[in-house]
Structure 1
Amino acid sequence: MTASTQIRLAARPVGEPQDSDFETTTEELPGLADGQVLLRTLYLSLDPYMRGRMSDAKSYAEPVPIGGAMVGATVCEVVESRSERRAVGDVVLAYTGWQTYAVADARATRRLDPEVAPVQTALGVLGMPGFTAYAGLLEIGRPQPGETVVVAAATGPVGSAVGQIARIKGARAVGIAGGEEKTRALIEDFGFDAAVDHRAPDFEEQLAAATPDGVDVYFENVGGPVGAAVVRRLNKLARMPVCGLVADYNATEVPAGPDRLPGFMGRVLRLSLTVRGFIQDEFVPTHHEAFLREMGAWVAEGRVRYREDVVDGLENAPEAFRGLLTGRNFGKLIIKVAP
């Protein structure tokens, strides 16, 4: 028997998740059945969508049950195998959640090659976040040479990839981030054409200066006042892939003020806008193979750069997750669970 330390959902958060919403337990894992593998977690991905899975509100995925282990993508080492698909020592991408060990069906894992790229990139630029950027931008945003692409949360794993892919396609990339360090990194590290600080008192003036010809594609990750400001600068026939609305994930009540939906819908009508929400897995059958090939090449060539924010220790996942929802992380947030 193998003992696994797990972080489980103890209560459904109201507003920002609290320590009391999590509990840490030790679970004795069962022995392997045919076709299964025992996995030791090396890295755990923390992502904004997990906040939605903590709620029981109707959504695109089932909520984590009270008492259930928190979900999440992981990079793991195979320590025992009863499958011809996986050998002991293989490093794999899995979806085993917030725990130190797990039993999984070998068919639900994908072997990673450390010689091709650092294995933790399978949780970021070469994983779900990178694929979200690739598929959402190219399928919905469809940037054309010379157009202006704006992306919010631009130093995150999705936003930074969006801007760099836009530039590869010949578009102009404008990133929105919080603070001088992040906006400077957008230009110096990620090669954006312009960067705007949403925390600055003159944010809207900065945005106007960075988008003198308006906005043709707005990749929405944030919502809230940032999204409202960008929407007012959309050009006719602009496209708006809606990937996330992290500004509202901890909200406990409807925002104050008048109903702004009629104004937004009027803008959609007058400007012939395309606004489409999406969940990345809907594009897996049609785009994932091309993503692995193209993004892998862009990363290897240095055309797409990435940044990781690595936190040591599974026990620090709840606090790191809280920081993710308020923008404290810088780059792809990963928990290093084991060497």
Structure 2
Amino acid sequence: MSKLSPAISALKAAHWQHCLAPHLLDGEVIVAFVSAHRLKPTVEGVAVTNARVLGFHTAAPSRRDVITMAVAADEIADVELVSAHMVPTLTIRTTGTPLCFGEFHREEMDFLTYFLDTLRHDGVDEAVRPELDRWRSDTQQSAGARARRREQRRVPVYGEPMTSAQWVAIERSIGSDEYPWMILNCGRHGQLAAFADRIVIRKTGRTTDLPVGEHLEVIPFTDIVDVTYRCGALSGVLEVATKACPAIYGEGFWPSAVSDHTEALPNVLRVPKAYYQGAQESIDKLRQYVHTGQGAGSRAASAR
């Protein structure tokens, strides 16, 4: 049975135990409960188990968000129980960012110290370790996915919203520390992503001139001669002319019907007129970067 700090009633502990039970790892047992108070992320209590320290919020809108903070016993480097303002506050230091679980009652100091010291001394219960390793791997993957979604939301997207498959394809062509500063998404016709020093055009092979599947064309700014758009009433083509693939259309070209052969060209993208108009300011900037030889500036991790 879990031990309770002087500030926690048996009724409250029973409620906490019931809410936390579905979120415990296989073999994980709650050893002690301590009160805690933090607003963002919300923490209403701390549970010390035989493997982790958990901060939780039982009234979370989603059940999967009940555990708001967690640190494994073998990741604890140091524990601080008093803040800079001398308020009883639990902060656990790991090899990464310190985790502040919030304030607790002064009369819980000795109780909390004992159970944290015991957890650090005993380490992770071997019965929990296999499941803990899986939890740690899942947590890292989830954190990476959240970071990618944050970066994706920062990228201006013109035309159609990006799908997960389209993002995955674009991300294959990038470094781990950069994202495009603009994307023009023309749906089934393809996507254009502009980076600091290159353009990536993605298409899916639907014609005999492109291999079946996906095709990514990476065009460095140094190879680009011009970026032109020719259109009719509703649609047109955006052509990235390069030294190896000069412009194939003259000033008078009006694509009343873009052929399959035209769409298959890796440096030509069919773009509805409304999509182009929405992205025109960014495309004009792209032309400027190409003509001046100056990149747009990488959205590198160091700049974020």
Q: TM-score range by the shorter chain?
A: under 0.3
Structure showing greater Rg: 2
Structure with bigger strand share is 2
Question: Relative contact order: is structure 1 or structure 2 higher (C-alpha 8 Å, sep ≥ 6)?
Answer: 1
TM-score in terms of structure 2 length: 0.27
When normalised by structure 1's length, the TM-score is: 0.25
